[in-house]
Structure 1
Amino acid sequence: MTLTPERNATEDTPVPEGHVRLTIDGQVVDAPKGELLIRTCERLGIVIPRFCDHPLLDPAGACRQCLVEVEMGGRPMPKPQASCTMTVADGMVVKTQHTSERADKAQQGVMELLLINHPLDCPICDKGGECPLQNQAMAHGRSDSRFVETKRTFPKPLPISSQVLLDRERCVLCQRCTRFSEEIAGDPFIDLLERGANQQIGIAEDQPFQSYFSGNTIQICPVGALTSAAYRFRSRPFDLRSTPGVCEHCSSGCASRTDSRRGTVLRRLAGNDPEVNEEWLCDKGRFAFRYTGSQGRITRPLVRRADGTLEEVSWTEALQVAADGLLAARAGGGIGVLPGGRLTVEDAYAYAKFARVVAGTNDIDFRARPHSGEELEFLAAHVAGGTVEDSVTFERVENAPAVLTAGTDPEEESGIVFLRLRKAYRKRGLRHFQVGPFTSYGAEKTGATVLHAVPGAEAAVVADPGADVVAALEQPGAVILVGDRAAESPGLYSAVSALAARTGAAIGWLPRRAGDRGAVEAGALPTLLPGGRLVTDAAARAELEQVWGAPVPAAPGRDGDAILAAAASGELAALVVGGVDPQDMADPTAAITALREVGFLVSLEIHTSAVTELADVVLPVAPDAQRSGAYVSWEGRRREFGVALDATGVLPDCRVLDTLGVEMDADLFTQTPAAAAGELERLGSRRAGGVAPDHTAGRARRPGYGQAVLATSRQMIDDGSLQIDEPALAGTARRPYVKVNAATAERLALVEGADATVRTDRGAITLPVALTDLPDGVVWLPTCSPGSHVRPTLGVGHGDLVTVGPAGNGSAS
């Protein structure tokens, strides 16, 4: 498709193949066959007013505001036509409102009809100042109204969810919201009700608008009919300071816009980036930003005194105390570094360099979650050192003939990947295969064929997925997406590698956290150095030593679990921890014990946590709104963002580590994100050259009497630490359940809707029962949802055995 119509086309020049020739407002133009007339006009710079039209939604012709005059074969059509539904045709002659009085009058008439019942409350409407209806009424409407009757009114606002409010008086029935919900998100909870003059937008009484993408309907609403409960009446658009940004909540790297006023973030909107998130944003990315101003925010350094209390001190004193403690630890046992997965690539690089240059160790691991050695081999072979040019991308997923997902549920863990899968399924029938214990909501909406797997035995399913799956993945352009939950299934990374080699399908790694891919590239791992270099590669170490001016340890370091175990036993004398929630670790109890027992603990954090409660020194670092930098998305795409709020008093991790290094007689040269990024770029990236993992597939455990195998995974909206102080967002979280199949429920005497208790010797979780298509003998719980914090409460994880029974029943004890 051409980017612009050919303005210089004449009747004598040949029409390009796949194009048609037409005349618009006296200009002879060539346009691609099948293109909507309104798009051709846009490419010519001709503005046609519209409300229902949206480039990412199917044509509807609902508002009729885009009427134009059309002639075909020298004969004018009997009435003006909607340019948003009519495709271009050879010989067509089009006159817009700029050259046709008839089209102009038609548009003015439609505008008058739309304003008959629309309230004149612009001064108090949230949309006022950025409202297409305001703008187009001024540009294309009449200067006065002939309507003298009483306007229709409704009770308002109508809460269609905890975070989306509906003002039916303002609605112009453009159907953007209903079309988005049905076409894009696959959540058709909002629809047109009634008929004729009584037609209105609404929801079913027993089915609230519960969608992970509901906030997009607010942004694309062309009037103030849909508003945000969190933002309503809080500011005028012209009082806001807008800053382009990148979402920090998953690895998609969505473009966003942060709107702030007087130093407080008031709202976040989706940015327009066709290569990544198009114009969409999940609700977590849109609404979960209040953590920047939470009551637990740390804005001053803290040092633990002799009496055990944490006291606010100056940066100078805090850094000196931290340096003294770490110098003593380096000489008397060593230092472990746990950066966490929410860091920018610049901050992750600073941690990686701090570990090698200052601490003199490869004991560094960003994976603040269950992980494995098999995963390290997979990352070295398939991920580290890659770029967006040689990686799987959103576009490649959308155009793939077949996609297999394993160790991930995209709707819950990477919402924009889910939207691309759904788009491909709806537009061209993508064949999606999902390896998992049951058919999730997202799998239903992408038409996925679920390859049911018992927890812990997913590798066997991937190793032999069936001839139909293999044939689909052998098609050119096929993709396998594997998530970081694969680390909890022994042999799954190896099976994915083998299946890709067998079929020729491309592998994409889809981690859950925003900073994970960047941390891999920055070398925040015990076996990998920056740029995808192997720790065991002498030439790679020599490259770094020349740039860093310091020796690089040759022996691979400990992984996160081993670092914590060494800290608990006294083998390591100190830990430097940044952005790690111990509750996310494979064994939270062991993690807390290690943090408590280690000789010296330095925490770099945004707000109070289980780590800061035990730390000897707490150094406040800046959240995304108060720092600049970049994430590397799961595609390998660098996603830069700038400072949105005043950053007085807090510093990015890279500068804190640089200053701490100076206090320890080493210079990291990472004082600014730009400096860190520049050095990492100079180092360059290269594939590590690691060998694809080849581990034995795990076997499912056999449950005994009253037992089941536990399946667990996170939901998008849950009790994550960056979702605090967001009651409107929390109101749309999916309700946690104990999920089993009918046969297992009967065997364990469970009743759908009644409470069941899942128990280990550590604790118990009680939730209502829901029946689904899980394998027999398997029970599912959400990992980190209200009332269901699996690892801290039960002390077990995916694939382990648990006892299950009716709540209050002794058989579950």
Structure 2
Amino acid sequence: MDNGLVMIARGYKMEVGTAPDHAFDSIFSGNTVEMCPVGALTATTYRFKARPWELKRIPSVCNNCSVGCNVRTDVRVDKIMRNVSRANDAIDDGWLCDRGRWGFEFVNSPQRLRTPMIRRNGQLSAVSWDQAFYLISSRLGDIINKHGKKAVGGIGSTRTTNEEAYLFQKLLRQVIGTPHVDHHHGHFPGPRDSMTGKPWMMTNSIAEIEQASHIVLIAADPYQRQPVLDLRIKKAMKGGAKIYIVNANETELDRFALQKITLPVQGAGAAAKVLLSTVVRQENMKAPDEALRAKMVQEDAIMRGHEEALGNEVTAQLRELAHEIAQAKGAIILYDEMATLEAGSEELAADLQTLAVVTGNIDRPGAGVGPLFEDANSLGARDMGLLPDALPGYKPAEETGMAYDEMLSSPQLKALFVMGANPARHVEKLSSSLELLVVQDIMLTETAQQADVVLPAVTYAEKDGSMTNIDHHVQAIRQALRPLPGTKADWEIIVEIARHMGAKWSYASPKQILLEIAEENPFYTGLDWVELGAQGVRTQEQEVARA
């Protein structure tokens, strides 16, 4: 459905080319190389770089978006030479986008960090690991003695493994004793939806998108953000699904949509309100909620303000769409996680979840609702308790800590520990009250450049672990390369810091950490490394058995 390749001329003069006046600019162009039956199409990134029999082939998972497409990583002399698709029908349907195929150069980058560094006289200087660990534990101890445990905060990552996210929050909560744990994510009212009791995630699977009669995308652009999900939506369209786009911006799917509703900038929150209000007021709700109906009546003046902001034409289009959703055989409503951070969209997630519930589009095949997360382990980070108000498994925290934005600006915070994240990109300047900034990452990011201690971590290709994709498939990440000399895996760094602070941790591998997670987290009950296998397991919440 993108501008593709054509055959030029005939007979022995036939050759592969592009359509006249059209570039081959598809985000899925690399698949033609993989499918070419005679090897005539090759990738410049791999051509003449290695012989196939020299390659070590490792099954892995793409680290570049939240879909979690399966890949085979081909390695030669501790360097990734190429990624190729590895079919997993439940997730990627055998496809791989160009970002997943060629977006691994950061692993091979000469800019990778190779040694711990501490700041001396305003400059970062190389030191040994022991020196770095001693300085961190000593400085944290001084800050805790002077300002208390709550003067320390931690910002985790959406690209590290489940095991590393779990240990990171455990270090902060149990070893250091601070409740201030978070990561960069969308705005969701609490760890779980109050109406359904479900955590904020897609209630349908990726494969079930093909069964939907209606697919509604609100402030989302899968082609750019989750490309292989875009293919699944187009496959559903070929099967008869109706696609509706509700967005302020142009998207690639606009040309395939039955209707595109163009919103004003930052209008997604108001659009969700109109959709929900229309169903509650004008449609026969499949899950009647009189309290919700009464609330809508009380907020009539507010709703008129939303409708005026959207305009008469857009409001009318949204009301028609609300009717379609209410009457649909099965509607799937998806929205971009980061759209919830826009002004006026604070209740976007809750309103769309409620919309799915009252129209009966939840907990059945071909129907669902949920956010399209940003990164490879965004959902795993939430599962593992990288939230200020929830422990692993979304259990309520005894004390709510500072949220992400608060930690970046609060004068009460004196030490900040950052793992695999770059919060400096979200603020003009980190808080001047910080006395200690520790960053562990693979590159000298903007945040690392301001750090007092920098710890060099490994990439996903240099360690084992698990990640959880957009529809809660838990998949194994397998080590393909030897770690870059001088670096350590994030989980190893966390374990060493805990030991230097007096904790008697004895974790020897990610497999051991996963077993502990499976014992405590109801979404991972019974999981182990063997069960993850080659294609992962889609897990649901279960009761955790306790002695």
TM-score range, shorter chain: 0.7 to 0.9
Secondary structure of the 1:593 match is coil
Deviations 1:535-573 (A, max 9, x none): 1xxxxxxxxxxxxxxxxxx2211110001111xx2x111
Task: Within 5 Å, give how 1:428-443 maps onto structure 2.
Answer: 428-443=239-254
> What CA distance in whole angstroms lies between the structure 1 residues aligned with 2:169 and 2:507?
11
What are the equivalent positions in structure 2 for 1:264-275 lying under 5 Å apart? 264-275=79-90
Residue 410 (1) aligns with residue 222 (2): yes
Aligned to 1:573: 414
Give a deviation string over 1:571-592, Cα, whole Å, max 9, x none. Answer: 111000012223542xx20xx3
User: Hey, what's the Cα distance between the residues in 1 that align with 2:3 and 2:194?
Assistant: 39
Task: Choose from 267, 270, 278 the match for 1:460.
Answer: 270
User: Distance in 1 between the 2:98 and 2:135 partners?
Assistant: 41
TM-score (norm 1): 0.55
CA contact (8 A) 1:658 1:667 kept: no
Superposed CA deviations along residues 120-173 of structure 1, whole A, max 9, x for unmatched, are: xxxxxxxxxxxxxxxxxxxxxxxxxxxxxxxxxxxxxxxxxxxxxxxxxxxxxx
Residue 609 and residue 686 in structure 1: after superposition, are their counterparts in 2 closer, same or farther (change >3 A)?
closer
Report the equivalent of 2:312.
Answer: none
Residue in structure 2 matched with residue 532 of structure 1 by the alignment? 394
Q: CA 1:327 to 1:532, structure 2 compared with 1: closer, same or farther past 3 Å? A: same
Q: Secondary structure at the match of 2:216?
A: strand
Partner SS state of residue 572, structure 1: coil
Match of 1:622?
458
Residues 1:328 and 2:142 aligned together: yes
CA deviation vs aligned residue, 1:760-787 (integer Å, no higher than 9, x gap): xxxxxxxxxxxxxxxxxxxxxxxxxxxx
How far off is 1:479 after superposition? 1.3
For the residue of structure 1 that corresponds to 2:430, the secondary structure is helix
Indicate whether 1:289 and 2:126 are aligned.
no
Matches within 5 A, 1:569-718: 569=411, 571-582=412-423, 584-585=425-426, 588-589=427-428, 592-594=429-431, 597-647=433-483, 648-685=485-522
Native 8 Å contact 1:669 1:675 kept in 2: no
Structure holding more helix per residue? 2
- Taking the TM superposition and a 5 Å limit, the aligned residue runs for 1:167-316 are 186-204=1-19, 206-305=21-120, 307-316=121-130
Provide closer, same or farther for how the CA distance between residues 679 and 466 of structure 1 changes in structure 2, counting only shifts above 3 A. Answer: same
CA contact (8 A) 1:341 1:515 kept: yes
Compared with structure 1, are the counterparts of its residues 485 and 205 closer, same or farther at alpha carbon in structure 2 (3 Å cutoff)? same
Within the candidate set 512, 536, 560, 2:404 is matched to 560
* Shift of residue 192, structure 1, vs aligned partner: 2.4
How far has the Cα of 1:481 moved from its partner?
1.4
1:424 aligns with 2:239: no
**Retained in 2: the 8 A contact 1:654–1:676?**
no
- Structure 1 residues 497 and 380, CA, compared in 2 at 3 Å: closer, same or farther? closer
Aligned-residue offset at 1:630: 1.1
TM-score normalized with structure 2 length: 0.81
Q: Is the Cα–Cα contact under 8 Å of residues 213 and 241 in structure 2 kept in the other structure? A: yes
Counterpart of 2:437 in 1: which secondary structure?
Answer: strand
Which letter does structure 2 place at the counterpart of 1:420? R
| Amino acid paired to 1:323 | S
Once residues 196 and 386 of structure 2 are traced to their aligned partners in structure 1, the CA distance between those partners, rounded to angstroms, is 16
Match of residue 358, structure 1, among 175, 183, 188? 175
Decide which of 148, 158, 162 is 1:345's aligned counterpart: 162
Quick check: 2:248–2:262 contact (8 Å CA) kept in 1?
A: yes
1:517 counterpart = 2:329: no
Q: Please state whether the residue corresponding to 1:611 is helix, strand or coil.
A: helix
Secondary structure of the structure 2 residue equivalent to 1:638? strand
Shift of 1:310: 1.7
Task: Mark the CA change 1:235 to 1:360 in structure 2 (over 3 Å): closer, same or farther.
Answer: same
Alpha-carbon distance between aligned partners in 1 of 2:394 and 2:200, rounded to the nearest angstrom:
4
SS at match of 2:58: strand
Structure with more contact order per residue of length (Cα contacts < 8 Å, sep ≥ 6): 2
2:417 alignment partner AA? V
Q: Which amino acid aligns with 1:575?
A: L
- Letter matched to residue 405 of structure 2: D
Describe the shift of the 1:276–1:469 C-alpha distance in structure 2 as closer, same or farther (beyond 3 A): same
- Shift, 1:469, TM fit: 4.2
Cα distance in 1 for partners of 2:63, 2:467 equals 8
Go from structure 1 to structure 2 and tell me whether the alpha carbon gap of 1:598 and 1:457 turns closer, same or farther (over 3 Å shift). Answer: same
Taking the aligned partners of 2:200 and 2:334, their CA distance within structure 1 comes to 18
SS in 1 for 2:448: coil
> Structure 2: how far apart are the matches of 1:484 and 1:379?
18
Q: CA deviation at 1:597?
A: 4.5
Note the C-alpha offset of 1:377: 5.5
| Distance across 2 between alignment mates of 1:379 and 1:189 | 47
* 8 Å Cα contact 1:332/1:573 also seen in 2: no
Deviation string for 1:590-618 (max 9, x for gaps)? xx332x64110111111111121111111
Q: Which amino acid aligns with 1:332?
A: K
Pairwise CA distance, 1:324: 0.9
Partner of 2:308: none
DSSP 3-state at the match of 2:178: coil
Amino acid of the residue matched to residue 267 of structure 2? A
1:243–1:642 contact (8 Å) kept in structure 2: yes
Q: Which runs of 5+ in 1 are unaligned?
A: 1-185, 536-553, 688-813
Q: Report the 3-state secondary structure (helix = DSSP H, G, I; strand = E; otherwise coil) of the residue aligned with 1:234.
A: coil
Q: 1:671 to 1:328 in 2, by over 3 A?
A: farther
3-state DSSP class of the match of 1:374?
coil
Is the Cα contact below 8 Å between 1:578 and 1:605 reproduced in 2?
yes
Gaps of 5+ in 2: 276-317, 362-367, 525-547
Render the CA deviation track for 1:602-650: whole Å, top value 9, x for unaligned.
1111111112111111111110110111110011110102110012532
Q: Secondary structure at the match of 2:230?
A: helix
Which deviations, in whole Å up to 9, do the C-alpha atoms of 1:376-427 show, x marking residues without a partner? 55599665397xxx9411111121111112232111111111110011112x
Partners of 1:470 and 1:256 lie apart in 2 by: 41
2: CA distance, partners of 1:525 / 1:269: 34
| CA shift for structure 1 position 197 | 4.7
2:259 matched to which residue of 1?
A: 449
Aligned-partner SS, 1:466: helix
The question of whether the paired residues in 2 share the 8 Å contact of 1:532 and 1:685 is answered with no
RMSD: 2.2
Alignment of 1:743-754 (within 5 A): none
Distance (whole Å) between structure 1 residues aligned to residue 138 and residue 464 of structure 2:
29
Do the aligned partners of residues 636 and 459 (structure 1) sit closer, same or farther apart at CA in structure 2, a change above 3 Å counting? same
Q: CA deviation at 1:448?
A: 4.9
Name the SS of the counterpart of 1:227 in structure 2: coil
Superimposed CA distance per residue, residues 732-763 of structure 1 (whole angstroms, 9 cap, x where no aligned partner) = xxxxxxxxxxxxxxxxxxxxxxxxxxxxxxxx
Partners of 1:668 and 1:383 in 2: CA distance = 32
CA deviations over 1:77-126 (Å, ceiling 9, x no partner): xxxxxxxxxxxxxxxxxxxxxxxxxxxxxxxxxxxxxxxxxxxxxxxxxx
Aligned-residue offset at 1:468: 4.2
Residues 309 and 341 (structure 1 numbering): CA distance in 2 closer, same or farther, change over 3 Å? same
1:322–1:304 Cα change, 3 Å: same
Match of 1:395 in 2: 207
Distance 1:475 1:601, change over 3 A: same
Mapped to 2, the partners of 1:510 and 1:654 lie a distance apart of 27
Matches of 2:92 and 2:17 in 1, distance apart?
27
After superposition, the Cα gap between the structure-2 partners of 1:636 and 1:483, relative to the gap in structure 1 and judged at 3 Å, is same
Name segments (4+ residues, structure 1) moved above 4 Å.
Answer: 375-383, 668-671
Distance, in Å, in 2 between the alignment partners of 1:440 and 1:430 is 18
Residue identity matched to 1:616: D
Tell me which of 332, 336, 344 is aligned to 1:479.
332
CA, structure 1 residues 684+500, in 2 after alignment: closer, same or farther (shift >3 Å)?
A: same
Letter aligned with residue 344 of structure 1: T
Distance 2:197 2:329 in 1: 19
